Chain A
Amino acid sequence: MFLKYCLKDSVPVTGLCPQAGSYGVQDSLRRGFSSVKNELLPSHPLELSEKNFQLNQDKMNFNTLRNIQGLHAPLKLQMEYRAARQIQRLPFLPSSNLALDTLRGSDDSIGFEDILNDPVQSEMMGDPHIMTEYKLGVL
């Protein structure tokens, strides 16, 4: 039912493939088999919009800022975001992202990301060696 509704007025997105590996193609070894349907369309109407929500908000805000204050404003902010994003723990440990949250202003608001599916309470744990190797790109 959702697929029919999605099919009518949506443009297939190339970046949706959930099984994509490092080269953007299907990664059978690590993620198993997939179907063409999975790669073409999202199974839930909100899946795509939620995946890219933060990115789209940032893009929109930076565009507005650029139009109002000139190019330097978003450039400076993006440089600060990039620096704050690098303050992380090792890949298999949960990082608090405190600096990034303070910059964004999301440290004093509560959304569904804070209540649902808390990574601290997730039931699955990744193998530390494999996760670090994947993060460094040597896997």
Chain B
Amino acid sequence: MALSNVLEPAVSGFNFENSTRNIVLENGSEEGKIKAPKPMKTGTTIAGVVYKDGVVLGADTRATSEEVVADKMCAKIHYIAPNIYCCGAGTAADTEKTTDMLSSNLTIFSMNSGRNPRVVMAVNILQDMLFRYRGMIGAHLILGGVDCTGSHLYTVGPYGSMDKVPYLAMGSGKLPALGILEDRFKGNMDLEEAKALVSDAIHAGIMSDLGSGNNIDLCVITKEGVDYIRPHRESLYNYKRQAKYKYKPGTTPVLTKTVNQLELVHETVQMMETAGSS
């Protein structure tokens, strides 16, 4: 339906039309203050460690929405490129969409140039994107990958800040995880040691933080390939249902049954000009 008050076509991208309405709703009358719904956060512990042959990334699997656990088996380690993976903490939707877009941009780049992307490229693209929105996109990310220059581990904050370190933890459970990492990290560890270290760091986060929990996922990235271990360690408190809640067919008694046969009255064929026909 053509509207006569639309004078220019809509601009694509973010739409701020409703922000005035939202402010009025939130600061409205004293009795009728309406609170905006809180977005689903990942309330996470994520950690990463650089070892002898590559990078090990780890994450828990709980997503919370205020005080309720929204997802018990959420995947926080996102695919960016065949040699780069990213753990995301913060608002769940923001981390998903940002990493998706980053992955698409890097795929276009690899197709254009025929090379595997480098981890610095991913970090630079993320920094530009997040700084443009001044922290409104709540994505705290840990990027790890192995490229032609070696193995790298970076963290990118929601305002566009970046840090390159050999071991990292982010999320609401980062303090206990960092404690374990600071205690036991050494350079040039081998694979089993690195996996045990990351797994223990995430476990410390799960035990000490309410926003992290359930299982632990690990992702090992080396020059040869990626090993995505999901789950690496399952939680002891697995909620198995006590009984089956499906009803057998025939549980509901049938009272009456009427059948109406539809009669074929008239059949016509109409030829149409379509774009596909020659």
- Separation of A113 and B15 alpha carbons in the complex (Å): 10
Instruction: Give Cα A119 to B13, complex, Å.
Output: 9
Q: Which residue of B lies closest to A31 (CB)?
A: B5
Q: Is the CB of B108 within 8 A of A109?
A: yes
In the complex, how many angstroms separate the beta carbon of B131 from the nearest chain A beta carbon? 11
Please determine whether A46 and B16 come into contact, CB atoms closer than 8 angstroms: yes
A47-B19 in contact (CB<8A): yes
Report which of B10, B23, B133 forms a contact with A117, defined as CB distance below 8 A: B10
Q: For the complex, is A33 an interface residue (Cβ under 8 Å from B)? A: no
A88 and B197 CA atoms in complex are apart in Å by 58
Interface of chain B, helix or strand or loop or mixed?
loop
How many chain B residues touch A (CB < 8 A): the figure is 33
B274 beta carbon closer than 8 Å to chain A: no
Contact check, A126 vs B6: say whether CB atoms are below 8 A apart. yes
Taking CB atoms, residues of chain B closer than 8 Å to A9 are none
CB pair B6 A117 closer than 8 Å: no
Chain A residues within 8 Å of B101, by CB: 110-112, 115
Enumerate chain A residues within 8 angstroms of B109, measured Cβ to Cβ: 108
Query: Which listed residue, A42, A122, A127, touches B2 by the CB 8 Å rule?
Result: A127
Q: Cβ of B12 < 8 Å from any Cβ of A?
A: yes
Cβ-defined partner of A116 (8 Å) among B5, B12, B23, B133: B12
Range class of the A interface residue count: 35 or more
Residues of B within 8 A of A108 (CB): 108-109, 112
Q: What mask results when residues 103 to 139 of chain A are scored 1 for a CB within 8 Å of chain B, else 0?
A: 0000011111111111100101111101100100001
Q: CB within 8 A of B6: which of A46, A53, A94, A125?
A: A125
Within 10-59 of A, Cβ neighbours of B (below 8 Å) are at: 30-31, 38, 42-47, 49-50, 53
Q: In the complex, A41 Cα to B16 Cα: how many Å?
A: 13
A71 to B185 Cα, complex, angstroms: 55
Complex-state Cα separation, A81 to B131, whole angstroms: 26
Determine if B3 is an interface residue (Cβ-Cβ < 8 Å): yes
Known: A122-B10, A125-B1. Is A117-B27 also a contact (CB below 8 A)? no
Complex CA distance for A44 and B17, rounded to whole angstroms: 9
- Given A108-B109, A125-B2, A127-B3, A44:B16 Cβ within 8 A: yes
> Is A131 touching B6 in the complex (CB atoms < 8 A)?
yes
Add 5 more A-B contacts to A111-B13, A125-B6, A128-B2 (CB < 8 A): A43-B23, A112-B14, A119-B9, A127-B6, A131-B8
Kindly list the 9 A-B residue pairs having the minimum CB-CB distance in the complex, ordered from nearest.
A126-B6, A44-B19, A113-B13, A43-B20, A127-B2, A43-B19, A47-B16, A44-B16, A134-B7
Interface residues, chain A, CB within 8 Å of chain B?
1-3, 30-31, 38, 42-47, 49-50, 53, 91-92, 94, 108-119, 122, 124-128, 130-131, 134, 139
Give me the interface of B with A, judged by CB distance under 8 Å: 1-16, 19-20, 23, 26-27, 97, 101, 104-105, 108-109, 112, 129, 132-134, 136
